[in-house]
Structure 1
Amino acid sequence: MSGDIAVLGVGMHPWGKWGRSFVRYGVAAARDALADAGLEWRQVRSVVGADTVRCGYPGYVAGATFAQALGWQGARVASVYAACASGAQAIAAARAQILAGLADVVLVVGADAAPKGFFAPAGGERPDDPDWLRFRVLGATNPAYFGLYARRRMACYGDSPDDYARVKVKNAAAGAHNPNARYRRAVSAEEVAASAVVADPLRLLDICATSDGGAALVLSGMDFARRHGAADPVRIRAVSTVTPVYPKTVLDLPDIATDSGVASASGVATDSDIATASAADVPAVDRPAVDRPAVAAETPPAVDSFRASIARAAYEEAGIGPEDLSLAEVYDLSTALELQWYEDIGLCEEGEGASLVREGVTALGGRLPVNPSGGLASFGEAVPAQAIAQVCELTWQLRRAAGRRQVAGARVGITANQGLFGHGSAVVALR
């Protein structure tokens, strides 16, 4: 049995700071997706909601919340939480239901009404929560980690703040053409350099905002799609949600996502090290000879194999490789992190990410555009919606319906995202 499922419909509520309920954003996105699919709500046999824990009890049971808001009609319901990877986990749950024959048509919805500023741990006193601990004990907000990661790349690979600015300039140029983006204005490298320092070397325009927004997909089996008249739909061929491998053999900076910041400061493996353990089977790569500070020779970097393993599992399931890609949507919490994703999804070898953005490879019109949607740089984070929004962008691109941000000849795309503890995700779509 084929593992493909069809994307019949996509919908989004524009990102911004609207000050309304997340339910409103999700319902708007769902209705747009249903209209795009040419289906009525009563034809949906299952609803999978990506949870938002910052929006009260309705956010914890998002599937039921959206089903109720759309009107009870007897569909199955499920709710999924995996922080920034929640949307991809929801897609995985929907795909499993379809391939198991439990539902012909599944609606996947994620939406958020995010607080202003950096995210704080939700739920009050939680001393067993690494997020709570790092905020409360270390005062280490997410931008602080992003800054450390950026410094690491500078020390190990010779990246510079100019390289990071190039990522923002690239993504802002694409986002300017996206009607759903929050920030729709091109910016210059000079504007990035002039913005306020947040966590050296990263400036305000290097770090994504927090946003309100919603995204939805209508998914179905291939037989249903053909009966419905969709002879050549965009297909999801792989959904990777792998975890890291334990034990972690090389201590390194933690893998940071919006709701995850785990590491063993003592160097002794703990239970929480599982969240950032590196896969043991990733081969070493030859790195180019570049001028680096002396510290790089004393502390050679380890391949960040957890994120690499996310992409590798997706490639293996889809039967493709990085060389087959037309585009990618990756999780650019910061400009420096986008460069790391280039390496983790196999677009180049470790340490060479900056060269791709310098050469224009990942820009619109380049050999392999990354974040043609504008990325989180243009949208900001609406946590449970963003992995779904990435698949929306792949769908528009593969349908040749992305307007001025269209990637010429788009046939295969991948998304990459990372969330709470060991939640990682990648989705491969093709047409």
Structure 2
Amino acid sequence: MTGDVAVLGAGMHPWGKWGHSFVQYGTVAARAALADAEIAWPQIRSVIGANSVRCGYPGYVAGATFAQALGWQGARVTSVYAACASGAQAVDAARTQILAGMADVVLVVGADSAPKGFFAPAGGDRPDDPDWLRFRVLGATNPAYFGLYARRRMAVLGDTPEDFALVKVKNASAGALNPNARYRKPVSAEEVAASPVVADPLRLLDICATSDGAAALVLSSMDFARRHGAADPVRIRAVSTVTPAYPRTVLDLPDIATDSAVAVEPSPHSFRASIAAAAYEEAGIGPEDLSLAEVYDLSTALELEWYEDIGLCGAGEGARLVREGATALGGRVPVNVSGGLASFGEAVPAQAIAQICELTWQLRGTAGQRQVPGARTGITANQGLFGHGSAVVAVR
């Protein structure tokens, strides 16, 4: 175990389509986290910004951008990019600085002002990027990619579109209780089934939107937390940022088929499973210790895969969990009690940080109507482009 760092503060800007600069959102979230931590801005000795590369040059140097917006005060800055895993890698950079004694208290910020529709590859053509090849050579943008995963689950495991709809129903019910969520009303299975088909079998309500929004954390050493009067803070115990191991790759389309005659069983050694396994190993816990989880539900079918990858059930058993209500509020291990991306949409650099915000509020017991009773341990899970994985374990 490398050592815990304390989560002194968590803050967000509500997610939606607001039409403003990502800097404005990030500044609001940062000030909310500072207020939550009862830390004055001049006390922050390091700012880690999760980059928003679609927002021009300020997004490429997010650490300095947020430090300037909050007011230059001499803190060191770091900027991190790992697509959807950016926030977790920013947290990992902050934790590294704290444990190395480089800074006692660090501000981590991620924010985005997202365009509508598909995310075009940032920075131009990337022929050496397997995800770019998936987009351009195979024509498999993310909804098509998720649709193939869903089709494989149907062909090999017997999942149904009704199972996928239950994930949206569950997450929308939780999101209706979250003041930071973009979509705040319950959704019925019938409404999911009536929404337009995007990538068969997935419908519009099976796939998350793109959003504006921000999230921020104030992290510190345990010694600083005690001096600050935080005797029992939420603690980050592990951060996993692993990459795939050969011969597994991110571009796993050869394993996916829409015909049950050629579809293959999911690998027991998937990249996503390795992300969670590394976090469990570092934290010294297992899935049986979890009170809750926040996972990367870009599509409803993908959430079912995460149940299996983080060890909540065996391979192929994810649909059973959602049918039984095991992952809903009040269930055995609630998943995405924030409402997930189904309720928030994607604000890419912010989403892994937002997951930790939710764990923080849950472990503090301050999540209101969506509170998981007695929550003590939680995990987040994410995946970014080009082999970036991320998982964070938080405890109290």
Q: What does residue 110 of structure 2 align with?
A: 110
Q: What does residue 288 of structure 1 align with?
A: none
Counterpart amino acid of residue 11 in structure 1: G
Q: What does residue 82 of structure 1 align with?
A: 82
Asked if 1:301 is matched to 2:288, the reply is no
TM-score (norm 1): 0.89
Instruction: Decide whether the 8 Å contact of 2:156 with 2:260 is kept in 1.
Output: no
Q: Secondary structure at the match of 1:54?
A: helix
Counterpart amino acid of residue 299 in structure 1: V
Instruction: Decide whether the 8 Å contact of 2:131 with 2:386 is kept in 1.
Output: no
Pick aligned residue for 2:307 from 342, 353, 370: 342
Runs of 4+ in structure 1 over 6 Å off? none
Gaps in structure 1 of 5+ consecutive residues: 249-253, 256-261, 268-292
Q: What does residue 71 of structure 1 align with?
A: 71
Pick aligned residue for 1:400 from 343, 365, 368: 365
Counterpart amino acid of residue 370 in structure 1: V
Q: Secondary structure at the match of 2:312?
A: coil
CA distance in structure 2 between the aligned counterparts of 1:30 and 1:351, rounded to whole angstroms: 40
Q: Per the alignment, do residues 392 and 123 of structure 1 end up closer, same or farther by CA in structure 2, a change over 3 Å counting?
A: same
Q: What does residue 160 of structure 1 align with?
A: 160
Asked if 1:376 is matched to 2:334, the reply is no
Instruction: Decide whether the 8 Å contact of 1:47 with 1:78 is kept in 2.
Output: yes
Q: Return the offset for 1:122.
A: 1.6
Counterpart amino acid of residue 87 in structure 1: G
- Which residues in structure 2 correspond to 1:47-196 (within 5 Å)? 47-196=47-196
Pick aligned residue for 2:377 from 404, 412, 420: 412
Pick aligned residue for 1:391 from 344, 356, 361: 356
Q: What does residue 290 of structure 1 align with?
A: none
Q: Per the alignment, do residues 113 and 45 of structure 1 end up closer, same or farther by CA in structure 2, a change over 3 Å counting?
A: same
% of aligned pairs identical?
A: 82
CA distance in structure 2 between the aligned counterparts of 1:368 and 1:112, rounded to whole angstroms: 30
Moved more, 130-139 or 218-227: 130-139
Q: Secondary structure at the match of 1:138?
A: coil
TM-score (norm 2): 0.96
Q: Secondary structure at the match of 2:96?
A: helix
CA distance in structure 2 between the aligned counterparts of 1:173 and 1:133, rounded to whole angstroms: 37
Q: Return the offset for 1:263.
A: 4.9
Q: Secondary structure at the match of 1:303?
A: coil
Tell me how large the CA RMSD over aligned residues is. Answer: 1.6
CA distance in structure 2 between the aligned counterparts of 1:294 and 1:214, rounded to whole angstroms: 42
Q: Return the offset for 1:264.
A: 7.7
Instruction: Decide whether the 8 Å contact of 1:120 with 1:135 is kept in 2.
Output: no
CA distance in structure 2 between the aligned counterparts of 1:64 and 1:311, rounded to whole angstroms: 31
Q: What does residue 318 of structure 2 align with?
A: 353
Q: Secondary structure at the match of 2:127?
A: coil
Q: Secondary structure at the match of 2:392?
A: strand
Gaps in structure 2 of 5+ consecutive residues: none
Q: Per the alignment, do residues 294 and 180 of structure 1 end up closer, same or farther by CA in structure 2, a change over 3 Å counting?
A: closer
Q: Return the offset for 1:242.
A: 1.1
Instruction: Decide whether the 8 Å contact of 1:121 with 1:131 is kept in 2.
Output: no
Q: Return the offset for 1:135.
A: 2.9
Q: Secondary structure at the match of 2:354?
A: helix
Q: Per the alignment, do residues 390 and 97 of structure 1 end up closer, same or farther by CA in structure 2, a change over 3 Å counting?
A: same
Moved more, 348-357 or 137-146: 137-146
Q: Return the offset for 1:294.
A: 6.0
CA distance in structure 2 between the aligned counterparts of 1:324 and 1:127, rounded to whole angstroms: 42
Moved more, 125-134 or 382-391: 125-134
Q: Return the offset for 1:112.
A: 0.3
Asked if 1:46 is matched to 2:11, the reply is no
